């Protein structure tokens, strides 16, 4: 039996399993409860650049960056210096074959005695971030065989500071995310996804 081929297209930000597109954690949330925001291309590009810098910092690598995101880089360095997460893994792509979705975890690290899934944010919407990390936790368990019971959001600010939520349990958010996955599947079957609708 051959292994499932799991791929990520960075240009379109889409995941495929055996050539079939599967939804991301963030797309499932966007199609069911909404994003709560809409960003122009520049802000999306800026977000990708900041995430890349975070990965370099986590891995202890030297890097260059656009001065326009200098404040955010300062904030990231301050977070790592003050919070000191251990056993860090960054930009981890995870897949749930059972529930047919995927995603990329910004950071996994041990904070105190707890293994925590962290997500970088420009602004923190507590309800959505809990759902997002809950979805990641399920896929991470399938992908790497580790149970992650806690999550946190980290707001990275342009002024060089950061704000971290408290570390929260993921049992309820994970169950709620699975409810959204079911809703997404029903909307897809009924042709109600944004990508399925044609503009009049």
- The range of the structural domain enclosing residue 151 comes to 6-195
Q: Residue 13: name the closest of 36, 45, 38 by CA.
A: 45
Q: Considering the domain boundaries, does residue 46 fall inside one? A: yes
Check whether 89 has a pLDDT greater than 50.
yes
Q: Considering the domain boundaries, does residue 80 fall inside one? A: yes
Supply the pLDDT for residue 46: 87
Q: Residue 71: name the closest of 88, 50, 101, 95 by CA.
A: 50
Rounded CA gap, 32 and 76, in Å?
A: 31
Do residues 110 and 116 lie in contact, with contact meaning Cβ atoms separated by under 8 Å? yes
Instruction: Please give the tally of structural domains in the chain.
Output: 1
Residue percentage of the chain with pLDDT more than 70:
93
Rounded CA gap, 53 and 170, in Å?
A: 27
Check whether 2 has a pLDDT greater than 90.
no
Place of tokens 């939520």: 165
Strand locations in 1-134 (E):
6-9, 14-17, 20-22, 86-96, 101-111, 114-121
Q: How confident is the model at residue 1 (pLDDT cuts 50, 70, 90)?
A: very low
pTM score, whole prediction: 0.91
Mean pLDDT of the chain: 92
Least confident span in 60-64, 73-77, 195-199: 195-199
Q: Considering the domain boundaries, does residue 1 fall inside one? A: no
Supply the pLDDT for residue 82: 97
Q: Considering the domain boundaries, does residue 134 fall inside one? A: yes
CATH number of the domain residue 179 falls in: 3.90.320.10
């Amino acid at each position: 039996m051959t292994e499932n081929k799991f791929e990520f297209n960075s240009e379109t930000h889409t995941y495929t399993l055996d050539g079939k597109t599967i939804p991301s954690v963030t797309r499932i949330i966007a199609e069911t409860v909404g994003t709560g925001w809409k960003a122009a291309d520049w802000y999306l590009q800026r977000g990708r650049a900041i995430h890349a810098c975070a990965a370099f910092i986590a891995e202890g690598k030297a890097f260059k960056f656009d001065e326009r995101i200098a404040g955010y880089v300062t904030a990231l360095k301050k977070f790592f210096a003050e919070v000191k997460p251990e056993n860090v893994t960054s930009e981890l792509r995870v897949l749930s074959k059972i529930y047919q979705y995927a995603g990329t975890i910004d950071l996994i690290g041990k904070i105190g005695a707890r293994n925590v899934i962290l997500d970088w944010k420009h602004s923190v919407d507590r309800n959505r971030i809990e759902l997002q990390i809950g979805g990641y936790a399920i896929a991470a368990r399938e992908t790497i065989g580790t149970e992650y019971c806690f999550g946190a959001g980290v707001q990275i600010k342009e002024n060089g500071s950061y704000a971290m939520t408290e570390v929260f349990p993921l049992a309820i958010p994970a169950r709620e995310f699975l409810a959204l996955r079911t809703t997404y599947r029903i909307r897809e079957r009924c042709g109600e996804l944004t990508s399925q609708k044609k503009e009049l």
